[in-house]
Amino acid sequence: MPKMMSKPTTIEHVNLDVLEDTLSFYIRTMNIAVSRDLDARLDGCDVARGTGKITTLLLVDSHPGIRPSVIAQIIMKDRSAMGRLIEQMIEHDLLRRQTSASERRAQELYVTPKGAELAAVIRPIVTKQSKDFFSFIAEEEQAQVMDILRRAYRKMVGMTGEKRC
């Protein structure tokens, strides 16, 4: 049974009930904040809003010929969402698409010159944004959190870390 508190009118008088000790709460909440901040910094940048565009652009840029379905796994979207995302980016002339010669049901994605340029612009912004946003966490602790979440993420999407093949 939670501690009862009454009619709080300011946030200082509030305790978070069981959410206080619930990691998912902090993940979900920080996500809102960090995403909003990122969107603000990328305003007008063709790649703002929603998770996925940035990752997609960077991934295609550094893995020419990568497939939509691989990206989908990485950003945890289903294929239809991924398709729409790519469509959008093609319309914005950031990516181009061609069906794979060896696997004619699959596609290969490539950045356009404009896409490559944007990727170069984006890269430092994204890095800086994350550092800045979490700057009130000590550098060291940031690294700690990242290290743990990275391992979690890897397991989740099935990146083994050791490339076995």
Size of the site for a second copy (CB under 8 A): 85
Which of a second copy, DNA, none does residue 55 bind (CB under 5 to 8 Å by kind)? a second copy
Q: Which residue has the tokens 């469509």?
A: 87
Residues 102-121 that bind DNA (CB under 7 A): 102-107
Nearer to a second copy, 33 or 93 (CB): 33
Which of DNA, a second copy, none does residue 17 bind (CB under 5 to 8 Å by kind)? a second copy
Work out whether 150 is an interface residue with a second copy (CB under 8 A).
yes
Nearer to a second copy, 114 or 146 (CB): 146
Q: Residue from 25, 34, 83, 126 that binds DNA (CB under 7 A)?
A: 83
Binding mask 1-30 for a second copy (x = CB under 8 A): -xxxxxxxxxxxxxxxxxxxxxxxxxxxxx
Q: Got the DSSP string for the chain? A: -PPP-----SGGG---GGGGG-HHHHHHHHHHHHHHHHHHHTTTSSS-SSSSHHHHHHHHHHSTTB-HHHHHHHHT--HHHHHHHHHHHHHTTSEEEEE-SS-TTSEEEEE-HHHHHHHHHHHHHHHHHHHHHTTTS-HHHHHHHHHHHHHHHHHHHT--SS---
Residues that bind DNA (CB under 7 A): 32, 36, 49-52, 67-69, 72, 77-81, 83-84, 86-88, 97, 102-107
